Amino acid sequence: MKPGRQARPPARQALIIFGPPGAGKGTQAELLSKRFFFFHVDTGRSIERILYAPGAENDPVLVRERKKFESGELCTPSWVLSIMRDRVMRLALADVSVVFSGYPREEFQAFGDGKEQGLLDLLAAEYGKERMTVIQLLVPSEESMKRNSTRLICSVCGLPVMGVGSSDPIQVACNFCGGKLMQRSLDNPEDIRARLEVYKKQTFPLIERMRAYGIAVHEVNGVGAPYEIHETLVKLLELA
Ligand SMILES: [Zn+2]
């Protein structure tokens, strides 16, 4: 394939990438969206777009969620789930393949609660279980810790730069926009450890449940250069 040219997957599919913090989920989702027409559903960005859309200040629900968002609190889970479902409906209607990189993260988001439809039931209805794939990126905890603590992000465009410690300023400016690089406030050792624990306790058990639900689950080694892991995914998903 010529570089810079997007290829549409042969049939639309839904992909969910799991992995501990720093496993490279977002990077892999971006690579698939850049080369193969996948739509990368970024939960944070979707939420932000809705909360700051024109007219949002007239909607009491959005005003409530915006307050939470700005104070660093979690937005209401059922509200976030409804946004994700809305995204999936629109994308399925447009016949687009989707990739999720940080959602679902816990049981309610994936399976709902009887009252609220979870993301998996909706994806199964819209895409079909046989067109759903779960990728589990395997990265040891120490590697996950190391990656998170040596990651800088661009203060302007948000592009991550891996392998640069804040005390080791090899690179000071973003390769894309020249913006100043900074460390995310979330990437301190205590927060990273807490996020790893949450992953083990709440997210990891979902993988078995998804297998039981009838979705293909593939374990992929997440240690290595992102492009190599990308090639593994391309083969696995039979994209090229
Ligand atoms: Zn930048």
Are the C-beta atoms of residues 147 and 162 closer than 8 Å to each other?
Answer: yes
Please state the rounded mean pLDDT for residues 26-30: 93
What pLDDT is attached to residue 128? 95
For ligand 1, the distance from its centroid to the CA atom of residue 217, given in whole angstroms, is 34
For ligand 1, the distance from its centroid to the CA atom of residue 174, given in whole angstroms, is 5
Name the phi and psi angles at 91, rounded to 5.
-70, -40
Please indicate, yes or no, if residue 70 is contained in any of the structural domains.
yes
Are the C-beta atoms of residues 222 and 136 closer than 8 Å to each other?
Answer: no
Please indicate, yes or no, if residue 169 is contained in any of the structural domains.
no
Residue 52's alpha-carbon distances to 47, 59, 69, 152, in angstroms, are 9, 11, 11, 26
- Determine the structural domain holding residue 81 and report its residue range: 14-140+196-236
For ligand 1, the distance from its centroid to the CA atom of residue 39, given in whole angstroms, is 22
For ligand 1, the distance from its centroid to the CA atom of residue 224, given in whole angstroms, is 24
Query: How many helices (DSSP H) and strands (DSSP E) are in the chain?
Result: 10, 8
- Residue 154: alpha-carbon gap to chain centroid: 18
For ligand 1, the distance from its centroid to the CA atom of residue 163, given in whole angstroms, is 16
For ligand 1, the distance from its centroid to the CA atom of residue 152, given in whole angstroms, is 11
The structural domain count of the chain equals 1
Comparing 1-15, 83-97, 108-122, 212-226, the range with the smallest average pLDDT is: 1-15
> In the predicted model, what is the mean pLDDT of the chain?
90
Q: How far is it, in rounded angstroms, from Cα 217 to Cα 205? A: 13
Helix (H, G, I), strand (E, B) or coil at 40: strand
Residues with CB under 5 A from ligand 1 (ion): 154, 156-157, 159, 174, 176-177, 179
For ligand 1, the distance from its centroid to the CA atom of residue 43, given in whole angstroms, is 20
Are the C-beta atoms of residues 233 and 32 closer than 8 Å to each other?
Answer: yes
For ligand 1, the distance from its centroid to the CA atom of residue 155, given in whole angstroms, is 7
Please indicate, yes or no, if residue 145 is contained in any of the structural domains.
no
Please indicate, yes or no, if residue 184 is contained in any of the structural domains.
no
Residue 148's alpha-carbon distances to 100, 159, 225, 235, in angstroms, are 20, 14, 16, 28
Please indicate, yes or no, if residue 146 is contained in any of the structural domains.
no
**How many other CB atoms sit within 10 Å of the CB of residue 69?**
17
For ligand 1, the distance from its centroid to the CA atom of residue 182, given in whole angstroms, is 11
Which domain CATH number covers 99? 3.40.50.300
For ligand 1, the distance from its centroid to the CA atom of residue 173, given in whole angstroms, is 8
Name the phi and psi angles at 160, rounded to 5.
-80, 145
* Residue list, annotated binding site for ATP: 22-27, 151, 224
pLDDT tens by residue, 187-225? 788 888 988 999 999 999 999 999 999 999 999 999 999
Please indicate, yes or no, if residue 150 is contained in any of the structural domains.
no
For ligand 1, the distance from its centroid to the CA atom of residue 167, given in whole angstroms, is 20
Looking at the predicted structure, is the pLDDT value of residue 3 above 70? no
Please indicate, yes or no, if residue 35 is contained in any of the structural domains.
yes
Please indicate, yes or no, if residue 164 is contained in any of the structural domains.
no
For ligand 1, the distance from its centroid to the CA atom of residue 153, given in whole angstroms, is 8
Residue 40's alpha-carbon distances to 175, 195, 201, in angstroms, are 22, 22, 25
* Residue list, annotated binding site: 22-27, 43, 102-105, 109, 151, 184, 195, 224
pTM: predicted TM-score of the whole model, two decimal places = 0.88
pLDDT tens by residue, 41-91? 988 888 999 999 999 999 999 999 999 998 888 899 999 999 999 999 999
